[in-house]
Amino acid sequence: MKKDKRNELAEASSKSQESRMSLQLDLPALDLILETKTQIEALSAQAGLTIIQSLMSQEIQERCGPWGSQNAFSHGSQQGFIVYGGRKVPITKPRLRSKAGQELPLESYQAFQQDGQMQRAVARKLIRQVSTRDYAGAIDQCLEGYGVGRSSVSRQWKAATAAELEKLCQRPVPADIKVLLIDAKYFCQECLVVALGVDSTGAKHVLGLWHGSTENSTVVKALLNDLRERGLNTEAAMLVILDGSKALHKGVKEIFGGLALIQRCRVHKMRNVLEHLPKEKRAQAAWRLRGAWSKPTEQEALKELRKVILWLEGISPSAARSLEEGLEETLTLQSLGLKKDLLLSFNSTNLIESCFSRTESWTRRVKRWRDAKMVMRWGAAALLVAEKGFRRVRGCDQMPLLIQALALHQSKLEKSLKAA
């Protein structure tokens, strides 16, 4: 028994020593791995430069030709730079001269000087809110670069955002857009009218933007005409969600006519009503409005809203008039027979407002908006980045109900036009 006990203690002691040795080896190994990772990154960068140098040397040899019948001549080297990893990196550039003694450009060197990657790198970093003044500190330090100054970054950012604006304004509109949201965003004194679409699967898309000095029907029509040229079907019934702006309403009606089923944003409507009320009555009014709008059918909701109007008459006639204005358009979703989840998704302009809130977070560093082009470039870049994070709308599995309701509305409208 005693021997067995001694054997167990010896085995336990041996395992303990092995465990301590393993621990002592693991920690230095971790440091070694981290150090090796850094060295590998630096080695990869240097290997890339070696390959670039090799390609330039190969071009020199091919263009010079065999000895004795050269078409050009190698003529030493000079210091130059390439764009590598999103920054300018110094490099020794070989020189080439013609038989007449003229300097010949190296195609490989010019190709590696192209700014496409640098523009994309600048855009990625700035869109993550890195100040142009701090850009040099945000770049990978594997290589010793130079020339990444504020003015250089600003030029790259301008080129990158111009490309994003062109992309947004020229790409086709998805053919199956069923819901359209239009709203305006002001940058200083410049106005951008933005359109957001929801397709038949519930996926959201930034459709386009249009600049104007103010939010007016002319700008809205110009935007919608542009979207129509790029594929938006304005001859099919569409659910259009607006904030109550008369200019937006007029522009939509002039393009879509009776095919536009307009849902007024309930958040804006409630805000407008509450502004006419004393503070002590606002909570009760908001509670009554939410209760009325939560009714499952249009008839029930309209009946409750009429009661709210009568109640408001005794408190503030102006609040009652504000609620009456466009009242039926706050119930468009109920008239289409939509269920709760889609009702929550489409009863306000929150889908497009969330895009604007992200745009504000990206543009808050801008101290001076120089012109309309700058506003459009920044707006397009921010909206496209916001689009990458889009998810399908809540209740997207109920989209077939909306599609069916829109088709029924269009059928009734066509029959009434034929009868007339």
Map out the domains of the chain as residue ranges. Answer: 177-390+406-419
**Predicted pLDDT at 255:** 96
Q: What is the DSSP string of 155-219?
A: HHHHHHHHHHHHHHHHSPPPTTEEEEEEEEEEETTEEEEEEEEEETTS-EEEEEEEEESS--HHH
Q: What is the distance between the alpha carbons of residues 90 and 148, in angstroms, rounded to a whole number?
A: 12
* 350-384 b/e (C-beta count within 10 Å ≥ 16 → b): bbbbebbeebeebbeeeeeeeeeebbbbbbbbbbb
Neighbours of 112 (CB within 10 A): 21
Beta carbons of 176 and 399 less than 8 angstroms apart: no
In this predicted structure, what is the pLDDT of residue 33?
A: 45
Which residues, in sequence order, are CB contacts of 398 under 8 Å at separation 6+?
338, 339, 341, 342
CA angle 140, 142, 147 (to 5 degrees): 65
Query: In a structure prediction context, what are the per-residue pLDDT tens digits for the chain, which is 420 residues long?
Result: 444 545 554 554 454 444 443 433 344 444 544 455 455 455 456 656 766 777 788 888 888 888 877 888 888 889 988 877 667 788 889 999 988 888 999 888 887 787 666 656 666 665 665 555 555 555 554 455 655 666 666 776 677 777 888 888 889 999 999 999 999 888 777 888 999 999 999 999 999 999 888 888 999 999 999 999 999 999 999 999 999 889 999 999 999 999 999 999 999 999 999 999 999 999 999 999 999 999 999 999 999 999 999 999 999 999 999 999 999 999 999 999 998 899 999 999 999 988 887 777 666 767 777 777 888 888 888 888 888 888 999 999 999 999 999 999 999 998 888 876
- Asked if 292 and 356 count as a contact pair (C-beta separation under 8 A), the reply is no
| DSSP letters for 394-419 | TTGGGHHHHHHHHHHHHHHHHHHHHH
pTM recorded for the entire structure: 0.69
Which pLDDT score, from 0 to 100, does residue 29 have? 46
Q: Are 332 and 301 in contact (CB under 8 A)?
A: no
Angle at 194 between CA 189 and CA 200, to 5 degrees: 170
Instruction: Give the pLDDT of residue 190.
Output: 81
pLDDT for residue 28:
44
CB 195 within 8 A of CB 209: yes
- Dist. CA 91–CA 400, nearest whole Å: 60
CA gap 262, 258 in Å, rounded: 10
C-alpha span between 193 and 242 (Å, rounded): 12
Question: What single DSSP character describes residue 111?
Answer: H
CB burial readout 153-179, b (16+ within 10 A) else e: beebbbbbbbbbbeebeeeebbeebbb
Q: How many CB atoms lie within 10 A of CB 125?
A: 19
Fold of 177-390+406-419: Nucleotidyltransferase; domain 5 (3.30.420)
Q: Name the DSSP class of 259.
A: G
Instruction: Report yes or no: 232 and 173 within 8 Å, Cβ to Cβ.
Output: yes
